[in-house]
C-alpha cells in the first residue's frame, strides 16, 4: 500500500517493509519488519588457514573481488583491513 506519506510492502499476508516519506527532502525511511524465522538446519562458515602473510593477502584480495592494486593499496593504507591482518 502506498500513499504520499506512507508505504507498506507485503508478501502474501506478511508485512515486509514499512516506511514514511520525509516531506522536507522527499526521501523515504524504510524499516524491515522482523518476521519469525525457521531455525537453521545447516550452517556454512568460511575458514581458511594460510602459512604466510603473502598467502593471506592474496586470499583477502580475491575475497574482495580483486580490486585494482591502487584501490587495494588505498584501502589498506586507510586501515580498512587492519583487523584482518
By the 10 Å C-beta count (0-12 exposed, 13-18 middle, 19+ buried), 61 is classed as middle
**pLDDT score at 73:** 86
Q: For 73, list phi and psi in degrees, rounded to 5.
A: -65, -40
Query: Who has greater pLDDT, 84 or 51?
Result: 51
**pLDDT score at 23:** 81
Nearest to 19 by CA among 37, 1, 44, 36: 1
Distance, in Å, from the CA atom of 37 to the CA atom of 27, rounded to the nearest integer, reads 30
Contact of 7 with 17, CB cutoff 8 Å: yes
pLDDT in tens, 23-73: 877 788 887 777 655 565 665 566 667 788 888 888 888 888 889 989 988
- For residue 20, pLDDT over 80 is answered with yes
Amino acid at each position: 500500500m502506498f500513499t504520499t506519506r506512507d508505504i507498506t510492502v507485503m508478501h502474501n499476508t506478511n508485512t515486509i517493509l514499512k516506511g514514511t516519506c520525509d516531506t522536507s527532502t522527499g526521501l523515504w525511511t524504510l524499516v524491515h519488519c522482523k518476521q519469525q524465522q525457521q531455525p537453521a538446519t545447516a550452517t556454512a562458515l568460511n575458514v581458511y588457514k594460510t602459512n604466510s602473510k603473502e598467502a593471506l593477502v592474496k586470499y583477502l584480495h580475491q575475497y574482495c573481488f580483486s580490486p585494482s592494486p591502487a584501490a587495494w593499496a588505498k584501502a589498506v593504507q586507510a586501515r580498512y583491513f587492519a583487523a584482518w591482518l
